[in-house]
Amino acid sequence: MLSQRTGGLGGAASPGLTLRLCTLCFRVSQGTQGGRLPSSAMSPPANVGRAPGPPDGGWGWVVVVGAFISIGFAYAFPKGIAIFFKEIQDFFGTSYGEIAWVSSITLATTYGAGPISSILVNRYGSRPVVIFGGLLCGIGMVSAAFCTSILQLYICVGFITGFGLALNLQPSVIIIGKYFLKRRPIANGLAMAGSPVMLCTLAPLNQFLFDNFGWRGSFLILGAILLNCCVAGALFRPIRAAPASVKPQVTEEGKDALKKEVTEEAIEMSSPTNVPMENKMEEEGEKDCCEKINQYLDFSLFKHRGFLIYLIGNVLMFLGFFAPIVFLAPYAKHIGIDEYSAAFLLSILAIVDMIARPTTGIIANSKWVRPRIQYFFSFSIAFNGTCHLLCPLASGYTGLVVYSIFFGLAFGMVCAMLFETLMDLVGAARFTSAVGLVTIAECCTILLGPPIGGTLIDTFGDYKYMFIKCGAVMVLAGTFLFIMNYYNYRMLAKEEKERKAKEEDLKSVRTENEGRNNWNKETAQDGPELEPLREEQEGLKKEVNGTNEL
Amino acid sequence: MEKNITLDSATIIELSCRLDNKYSHLKNLQVTWKRGNETIRHIDKTENSWSIQLKILDSSKLGSYSCILKGEEEISAIFYLQVPKIEGKEKPIVSYEGDSAVMICKSFGYTPIAWTWYKINGSEQIAINDSLLADKYVINSVSANVTHLKILKLAKEDDGVYWCEAAFELGRSKGSLKLKVLSLMVPLKPFLAIVAEVVILVTIVFLYEMYSKKKEKCAEDEKEFDQVEQLKSEESNGLENSSARNRKI
C-alpha cells in the first residue's frame, strides 16, 4: 500500500517528494468521506496480470502420493485379476480364450476412454473425475461379484471397471503437470512407480483373498479396495494451471497469441481505450463450433509438430512393449525352468522396475538431461529393444535372470518418462487433451501386440521370433524418435530466435513511443541527438543476441 | 532307487535291473527278484542285466517289485506298478450358500472306464447319484479324461471332502477335493470395514482442506487489517507533520 510505494521509491526519496506524497494521501483519505478505502484498490497488485507458477512442492508431494495410488491401480489391476481366471473358467465352463477377453476389454477400455476422461477433466477438473472413477470401479467390481454369466463379467469387470480406471489414470497424470514444473520429472517418476509397487502388492493379496473367499468374495473385497481411489482423488486439490512456460514450448498458436498481446499493448499506448474493447468483442463473436470443441478436446494438437512425433513414435513402440512381459514366464517354462522360478523372474522384473522409475525421474530432472529429455527417452526405448534382441542369446536360468534385470531397468525408464516427455513437448495447458488423444491411439497397438506375438510363437513354434519382432519394432521406434526430435529441437531453436527478434523490434518501437509521450519538450530538442545513440544500442543488442544463439 | 510305472489296462511288462559298468568288477553276485516276501523264480539273465516278465491282468498283480543284488554290498531297486493317479485339488474350493460349485477331476494320459463321485461324511462315503437328485448334482464329462461335478443350491451341509474315483481295467484310483461353503456375511465384514476406512479418510482430507482454507483467509484478513492500520497511522503522522510545518512557517 502506501508503505509499499515509499518502499519502491527507495531511501533516495527526497523530503520534498515524501511531503508531496503525504499530502496526496492526506487529500485522498479526506476525499473518502470517512469510509475506509479498500487497500487493494489503491495499490497495483504485485504481479500484474501473471498467474503464480506451479508450486513445485508443498501440497504437490501429497498429490504425488495420490497419483501413485491411482496410477498403480490403473495399471496393476487388469494384470492382477489374472489369478482368478482359472477358477472362473472352470465355474462357467468356458475356454481360456473367452476368459482372457476380460483382461483385454479392461485394458482396451482404460486406454480407449482416454479422450472422454480428458474432456471431463477439461470441464470439471481432476478431483471430481477421479472420485467418480473410484466409485465406478467399486460399483463395477461389486456387481461383478454377483455375475451369473461370462457376458456379465465382460460388462462389469471389462467396461465399467475399465472405464473407472480410465477416469483414474488420465487425471492423475494431468494434475502432476499442474503442480510441478521444475521438479516434474521426479514427480512423474515417483507417481509412475505406483504401477510395479501395486502389482507386487496385489499379486499376493489376490492369492490370499482367493484362498479365503473364493472368486466372488474376492471381487467384492477388491471393489472396496478400489474405492481407495476416491481417497486419492480427494487429495487432488484444484489449482490454477501454470501458463505455458516460454522455454522450448512456443507453439505456432502461442506465437500468434503473443503477437496479438504485443500489438494490443501498442494500440493501447497510442489511442484511447475504446479500441481494445472492440477487438475483444470481435474475438468472442468468432468463436464458432470448432473453437467450442477445441475447448473440450484440443484437436488442434494434430497440427503440433512435437505431438505428432510423439504420437507416431509411441504408437510404433507399443507394438512390442507388452508382449515380452506376457510371454516371459511361458518362455522360461518352455526352455525347461520350473514354474516357481519362472514366476520369480517376473518378481525380479517388478523389483528392478520399482527402483528404476524414481531413479530415472531424478536423472531426467538433472540440468544435463532435462533440456534433452527427448533424447533420453528415445535412448531408453532403443535400449529396451536391444534387450529383447539379445534375449534369444540368453541360455539357461542365469541368462534369463540377467535379461529380466535389464528388461526391468529399461521398462522402468520408458514408463517413468512416458508422460513427462509429452508434457515437455505440449506444455501443461494442452496436456489434458494430448494425453487423451495419445492413449486412444495407443490402445489399438497395445491390444495387437501380445496376440501378434502369440501368433508368431504358434506359427514358428519358437519364442525367439517374437523377441526379435519386439526388439526390432522398439529399436525402430527409438531411432525414429531420436531423429525426429533432433529435427524438432532445431526448428524450436529457430522459432525462438525469430520470436525474440520480433520482440526486440516491438520493444524498441514501444520505448520510442514512451520516450516521445513522456518527455515531449525535452525530446524535441534532444531527438536528433538521442536517436542515433538509440539505434547504435539496438544494433549492439542484436549482435549480442546473434552471438548468444550461435 | 525307485521307479513308478503306471498301467491302466492288462499288459505284459518286463522289468530289468542293469548293473552299471563301474560295478562290473564285482564278482559273486546273487540277484533275486521279490514281490513283498515272495521270490520270483524265472529270471532272464544277460551279461549285465537281470530281468523278469510279468503278466498283469488284474489289480492283484500290481504292487512293488524289487530286485536285490547281493555281493560285497547289497544294492536294491524297487518298481512300483500302479494305476494312473487322478488329480484333484489341494486347496479347498470356496463357494457361498445358494451359489453353485464346480469340481473337476482330471486323469492324465489314461482314459478311465468310468467315473464315480463320493461325498465323505465322517468315515463313510456316499455315492453321489445325479439321476436321483438331478436338481442338486450334475455330473458330466467334458472329455473322457475329465469329469465335472456341479453342485447347485449349496448349503452348509455340502461342506466337506469329496472323492472322484476313476475305474480302470486294473483297478480304481481316487482324487480328493475339499469344498468350503461360506455364508455371505463372511466377505461382507472386510468389505464394510474397508468402505468405512475410505469414508473416514475422505472426510479427514476434506475437513483438513476446509480448515487450512479458513486459516489462510484469516491470515489474509489480518494482513489487510494490519495494512489499513498502518495507513491510518501514517496518515495521522503526515497530518501532524504538515500542520507542524505550516505552523512553523
Q: What is the ipTM of this complex?
A: 0.79
Question: Does residue A531 register a pLDDT over 50?
Answer: no
Residues 92-111 of B with CB under 8 A from A: 93-96, 99, 101-102, 104
Which pLDDT score, from 0 to 100, does residue A361 have?
93
More confident residue, A158 or B22: A158
Q: Any chain B CB within 8 A of the CB of A19?
A: yes
The side-by-side arrangement of strands in the sheet containing B171-182 is: B93-96, B171-182, B160-168, B114-121, B124-127
Kindly determine whether residue B231 and residue A23, on different chains, have CB atoms separated by under 8 Å: no
Q: In degrees to the nearest 10, what's the CA dihedral of B43, B44, B45, B51?
A: -80
Mean pLDDT of A334-343: 82
- Give A89's contacts in chain B (Cβ within 8 Å): none
Distance CA A158, CA A7 (A): 64
Kindly determine whether residue B187 and residue A211, on different chains, have CB atoms separated by under 8 Å: no
Name the residue facing A220 among B187, B231, B245 (closest C-beta). Answer: B187
Kindly determine whether residue B99 and residue A216, on different chains, have CB atoms separated by under 8 Å: yes
More confident residue, A316 or A8: A316
Q: Any chain A CB within 8 A of the CB of B236?
A: no
Which pLDDT score, from 0 to 100, does residue A249 have?
40
Mean pLDDT of B230-244: 72
Amino acid found at A109: T
Least reliable range by pLDDT among A239-243, B41-45, B46-50: A239-243
Is A54 exposed, middle or buried, given 0-12, 13-18 or 19+ CB atoms closer than 10 A?
Answer: buried
Mean pLDDT of A474-492: 93
Mean pLDDT of B121-139: 82
pTM of the model: 0.73
Kindly determine whether residue B201 and residue A231, on different chains, have CB atoms separated by under 8 Å: yes
Kindly determine whether residue A237 and residue B209, on different chains, have CB atoms separated by under 8 Å: yes
* Percent of chain A at pLDDT exceeding 70: 74
Residues 349-368 of A with CB under 8 A from B: none
Element holding A112 (H helix, E strand): helix A96-112
Kindly determine whether residue B239 and residue A213, on different chains, have CB atoms separated by under 8 Å: no
Name the residue facing B95 among A36, A214, A237 (closest C-beta). Answer: A214
Which pLDDT score, from 0 to 100, does residue A527 have?
45
Mean pLDDT of A417-424: 91
Which pLDDT score, from 0 to 100, does residue A287 have?
52
Mean pLDDT of chain A: 79
Nearest chain B residue to A141, by CA: B191
Question: Does residue B83 register a pLDDT over 90?
Answer: no
Kindly determine whether residue B227 and residue A212, on different chains, have CB atoms separated by under 8 Å: no
More confident residue, A17 or A442: A442
Distance CA B119, CA B125 (A): 6
Kindly determine whether residue B231 and residue A212, on different chains, have CB atoms separated by under 8 Å: no
Which pLDDT score, from 0 to 100, does residue A51 have?
53
Q: Which of A18, A86, A88, A91 to mutate to test the interface with B (most CBs of B within 10 A)?
A: A91
Decide if A71 contacts A194 (C-beta within 8 A). Answer: yes
* Those residues with Cβ within 8 angstroms of residue A399's Cβ, 6 or more apart along the chain or in another chain: A393
| A283's grid cell | 474475438
Cα atoms found within 13 Å of the Cα of residue A326, Cβ hemisphere only? 24
Nearest chain B residue to A209, by CA: B187
* Those residues with Cβ within 8 angstroms of residue A25's Cβ, 6 or more apart along the chain or in another chain: A2, B231, B234, B235, B238
Q: Which of A37, A213, A226 to mutate to test the interface with B (most CBs of B within 10 A)?
A: A213
CA A33 vs. chain centroid, Å, equals: 54
Among the listed residues A6, A26, A32, A17, the one whose alpha carbon sits nearest the alpha carbon of residue B242: A26
Kindly determine whether residue A25 and residue B102, on different chains, have CB atoms separated by under 8 Å: no
Which pLDDT score, from 0 to 100, does residue B246 have?
60
Question: Does residue A9 register a pLDDT over 50?
Answer: no
- Give A218's contacts in chain B (Cβ within 8 Å): 187
Which pLDDT score, from 0 to 100, does residue A332 have?
85
In a 3-state reduction of DSSP, which class is residue A542?
A: helix
User: B241: pLDDT confidence band, cut at 50, 70 and 90?
Assistant: low
- Tell me the nearest-neighbour CA distance from B37 into chain A, angstroms: 39
Which pLDDT score, from 0 to 100, does residue A407 have?
94
- Give B99's contacts in chain A (Cβ within 8 Å): 216
Least reliable range by pLDDT among A41-50, A164-173, A335-344: A41-50
pLDDT in tens, B196-218: 999 999 999 999 999 998 998 89
Long-range contacts of B41-50 (CB under 8 A, 24+ apart): B44/B16, B48/B18, B48/B19, B48/B21, B48/B24, B49/B16, B49/B17, B49/B18, B49/B19, B50/B16, B50/B17
- Tell me the nearest-neighbour CA distance from A41 into chain B, angstroms: 12
User: A356: pLDDT confidence band, cut at 50, 70 and 90?
Assistant: very high
Which pLDDT score, from 0 to 100, does residue A355 have?
94
Kindly determine whether residue B94 and residue A217, on different chains, have CB atoms separated by under 8 Å: yes
- Give A212's contacts in chain B (Cβ within 8 Å): 94
Mean pLDDT of B36-51: 80
Task: Report which DSSP code applies to B36.
Answer: T
User: B40: pLDDT confidence band, cut at 50, 70 and 90?
Assistant: confident
pLDDT in tens, A436-445: 889 988 888 8
Question: Does residue A6 register a pLDDT over 70?
Answer: no
Mean pLDDT of A148-177: 93
User: A24: pLDDT confidence band, cut at 50, 70 and 90?
Assistant: very low
Which pLDDT score, from 0 to 100, does residue A335 have?
85
Kindly determine whether residue A2 and residue B228, on different chains, have CB atoms separated by under 8 Å: no
Least reliable range by pLDDT among A209-223, A284-298, A528-542, B118-132: A528-542
| A142's grid cell | 461389486
- For B49, phi then psi, to 5°, come to -135, 150
- Give A228's contacts in chain B (Cβ within 8 Å): 194, 198, 201
More confident residue, A529 or B58: B58
Mean pLDDT of A81-106: 85
- Tell me the nearest-neighbour CA distance from A26 into chain B, angstroms: 6
| A310's grid cell | 510423439
Residues 205-224 of B with CB under 8 A from A: 205-206, 209, 224
Q: What Cα–Cα distance (Å) separates residue A241 from each residue in A176, A181, A236, A324?
A: 10, 11, 13, 38
Nearest chain B residue to A21, by CA: B238
- Tell me the nearest-neighbour CA distance from B167 into chain A, angstroms: 23
Which pLDDT score, from 0 to 100, does residue B24 have?
66
Mean pLDDT of chain B: 84
Distance CA A166, CA A74 (A): 7
Mean pLDDT of B148-160: 89
Cα end-to-end span (Å), chain B: 126
Nearest chain B residue to A92, by CA: B102
Mean pLDDT of B187-191: 93
Question: Does residue A486 register a pLDDT over 80?
Answer: yes
- Tell me the nearest-neighbour CA distance from A71 into chain B, angstroms: 18
Q: A-B interface: how many C-beta pairs under 8 angstroms?
A: 98
